[in-house]
Amino acid sequence: MNLWESFICVAMCYGLLVVVNRQGVLTKFLSDNAFGAFVFHPPIVVLAARMLDGITAPAILRFLILTSIGLVLHFERSCFS
């Protein structure tokens, strides 16, 4: 059973790559900035998460704040560098 599930998972991933193999303006921008997302984004998110550590708020609110901070800082750096 596990072999079948693994096979289906891999096949669906390859299938999605074939089906959605189109590149528009947004996906072109995202693919051009993928290196920055993998290299610069994690330290920014970790630093922002450490700064939000003292805030007593529901987890979903802290998640939304952290996501907003990470997106703004990452894409601001990617767009203007």
pLDDT tens string, the chain, 81 residues long: the values are 678 889 999 999 888 888 877 778 887 887 787 777 778 778 878 888 888 888 888 889 988 988 888 778 766 655 555
Does pTM surpass 0.85? Answer: no
Token pair belonging to 30: 């995202």
51 within 8 A of 21, measured Cβ to Cβ:
no
